[in-house]
């Protein structure tokens, strides 16, 4: 049986993911790898004097191979090119993009080092699956080492429109490296089309049909593989004793008030500033909710060494203080703003206690919180999901209340509509959503991708340009 080798920057084996807010990628992969004869390779999260060593261990049923990074790598590759250049660019925040040649060099250097470190572990027939924007050029570095295995790439974040991508210096070189994969997967059809548009109009490539694209003398397969959650596990978590305890805790502290919940990493792409402003608008628009509702916003600090993350954190501190100062009464606080993370079973209980799930990113590859919120609901008395049209999840979750997160009045109206929705309509919307969540889950995501990856001819030969 061939092995699946997953390579990502962030490695969070199952033992850890229950406890921390590690993001959607780690949640999805730890679930996928538990079922595969696989190995997960990536950065340990630690900084070392020298890099290139590897430690292999078995954690939670998964073989994990970890390597350290040097301080300069962390600054130039992780904080730099990945999170100051590509992340804001791919989330359409060109105003936040910083580009420095040292970032570019660091990105290339760490991808090279990953290739050098992992290639001795690869044997014939291994299927290699590279994850996310940190490692786009990894396949081309592996090919230079002579690796002929099938290599797939999945992008967890959005692929931007052509003109946005073109603001990146050396955008063509980055895209060219993607043609060393056999299969490139995106979260949505939209993302895949944006990539195709670039390939045709900028790279002079050709759409060969059936998901095949040809450019730079090579042919790759592309596809949309919307990622799901470990739905069964999450439904079980929502029925656990811990979830019940958290549900009780929330209910007691609600004192009959309706609860709106938001859960995310503290990231500017999640639209938290706009959400707080919309909630402020809602409290003004609908004074009947005074003392009858509250918003619980859980936002775990993320990428704290990057300036834009420090800035958004400061803004949210100020804004939350302002909203509570403006609207609170002596026995009511309308916004509970919490900067910590919760275990999955705790989170499930919190979601279940909330009448509204507010998921309003300005851009998001998929957004797993939207799916988790629905999976945790009581089918007989479910809450309502308010979802941004700019989350990848909106393409699948049409029974949510879909909003434009930039339109604070529309978000305010949607909160009101959700809070006042009759049971029958809530149940109908829930039923429309839960089926997709249970069937298009993380297992089917992994199987669809790896099956398509296996389907390709094993050895990749450059094809002559016609």
Under the rule (CB under 6 A), what is the footprint of ligand ADP?
21, 23-24, 27, 263-265, 298, 300, 341-342, 347, 366-369, 372
Work out how close the CB of 306 gets to ligand G6P at its nearest, in angstroms, rounded to a whole number. 9
320 binds, among ligand ADP, ligand G6P, none (CB under 5 to 8 A by kind): none
Residue 355 annotated among the catalytic residues of the structure: no
274 lies in the binding site for ligand G6P (CB under 6 A): no
Compute, in degrees rounded to 10, the torsion defined by CA atoms 353, 354, 357, 358: -140
Work out how close the CB of 77 gets to ligand G6P at its nearest, in angstroms, rounded to a whole number. 12
Work out how close the CB of 423 gets to ligand ADP at its nearest, in angstroms, rounded to a whole number. 27
Distances (CA, A) of 261 to 60, 124, 151, 293, 350: 30, 48, 39, 11, 8
302 lies in the binding site for ligand G6P (CB under 6 A): yes
Work out how close the CB of 206 gets to ligand G6P at its nearest, in angstroms, rounded to a whole number. 30
10 lies in the binding site for ligand G6P (CB under 6 A): yes
The residue within the footprint of ligand G6P, chosen from 109, 244, 303, 454 (CB under 6 A), is: 303
Nearer to ligand ADP, 155 or 347 (CB): 347
Contacts of 265 (CB under 8 A, 6+ apart): 21, 23, 299, 300, 301, 302
Rounded CA gap, 58 and 65, in Å? 9
Residue 182 annotated among the catalytic residues of the structure: no
Rounded CA gap, 401 and 418, in Å? 8
Contacts of 220 (CB under 8 A, 6+ apart): 178, 179, 181, 182, 183, 184, 212, 213
Angle, helix 24-34 to helix 368-375, in steps of 10 degrees: 60
132 binds, among ligand G6P, ligand ADP, none (CB under 5 to 8 A by kind): ligand G6P
10 binds, among ligand G6P, ligand ADP, none (CB under 5 to 8 A by kind): ligand G6P
456 binds, among ligand G6P, ligand ADP, none (CB under 5 to 8 A by kind): none
Q: Which of 267, 364, 399, 441 is catalytic?
A: 364
Nearer to ligand G6P, 23 or 383 (CB): 23
Work out how close the CB of 134 gets to ligand G6P at its nearest, in angstroms, rounded to a whole number. 7
Q: Is residue 7 within 8 Å of residue 41, measured between CB atoms? A: yes
Rounded CA gap, 205 and 219, in Å? 10
23 lies in the binding site for ligand G6P (CB under 6 A): yes
Bridge partner residues of 67 (DSSP): 43
264 binds, among ligand ADP, ligand G6P, none (CB under 5 to 8 A by kind): ligand ADP
Angle, vertex CA 422, rays to CA 416 and CA 427, nearest 5: 110
Q: Is residue 67 within 8 Å of residue 53, measured between CB atoms? A: yes
For residues 116 to 135, the per-residue mask of contacts with ligand G6P, x marking binding by CB under 6 A and - elsewhere, is ----------------x---
Rounded CA gap, 362 and 380, in Å? 31
Nearer to ligand G6P, 83 or 412 (CB): 83
């Amino acid at each position: 049986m061939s092995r699946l080798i997953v390579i990502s920057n962030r490695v969070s084996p199952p033992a850890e993911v229950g406890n921390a807010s590690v993001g959607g990628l780690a949640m999805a992969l730890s679930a996928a790898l538990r079922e595969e004869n696989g190995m997960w390779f990536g950065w340990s999260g630690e900084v070392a004097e020298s890099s290139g060593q590897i430690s292999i261990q078995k954690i939670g049923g998964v073989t994990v191979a970890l390597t350290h990074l040097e301080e300069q790598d962390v600054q130039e590759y992780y904080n730099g090119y990945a999170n100051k250049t590509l992340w804001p660019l791919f989330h359409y925040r060109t105003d936040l993009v910083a580009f420095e040649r040292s970032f570019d060099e660091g990105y290339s250097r760490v991808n090279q080092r990953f290739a050098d470190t992992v290639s001795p572990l690869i044997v014939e027939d291994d299927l290699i699956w590279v994850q996310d924007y940190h490692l786009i050029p990894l396949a081309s570095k592996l090919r230079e080492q002579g690796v002929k295995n099938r290599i797939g790439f999945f992008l967890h974040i959005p692929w931007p429109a052509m003109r946005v991508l073109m603001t990146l210096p050396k955008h063509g070189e980055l895209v060219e490296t993607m043609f060393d994969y056999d299969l490139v997967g995106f979260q949505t059809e939209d993302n895949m089309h944006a990539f195709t548009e670039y390939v045709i109009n900028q790279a002079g490539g050709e759409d060969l049909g059936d998901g095949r694209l040809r450019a730079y003398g090579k042919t790759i397969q592309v596809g949309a593989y919307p990622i799901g959650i470990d739905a069964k596990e999450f439904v079980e978590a929502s029925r656990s004793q811990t979830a019940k305890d958290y549900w009780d805790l929330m209910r007691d502290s609600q004192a009959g008030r309706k609860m709106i919940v938001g859960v995310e990493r503290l990231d500017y792409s999640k639209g938290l500033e706009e959400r707080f402003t919309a909630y402020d608008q809602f409290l003004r628009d609908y004074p009947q909710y005074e003392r009858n509702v509250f918003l619980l916003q859980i936002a775990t600090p993320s990428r704290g060494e990057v300036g834009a993350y420090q800035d958004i954190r400061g803004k949210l501190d100020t804004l939350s203080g302002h909203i509570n100062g403006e609207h609170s009464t002596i026995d009511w606080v309308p916004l509970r703003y919490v900067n910590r993370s919760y275990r999955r079973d705790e989170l499930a209980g919190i979601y279940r206690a909330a009448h509204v799930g507010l998921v309003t990113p300005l851009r998001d590859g998929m957004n797993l919180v939207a799916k988790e919120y629905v999976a945790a609901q009581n089918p007989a008395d479910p809450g309502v999901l308010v979802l941004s049209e700019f989350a990848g999840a909106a393409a699948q979750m049409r029974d949510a209340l879909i909003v434009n997160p930039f339109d604070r009045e529309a978000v305010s109206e949607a909160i009101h509509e959700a809070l006042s929705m009759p049971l029958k309509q809530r149940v109908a919307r829930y039923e429309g959503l839960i089926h997709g969540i249970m069937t298009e889950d993380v297992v089917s995501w992994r199987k669809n991708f790896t099956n398509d990856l296996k389907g390709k001819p094993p050895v990749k030969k450059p094809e002559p340009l016609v």
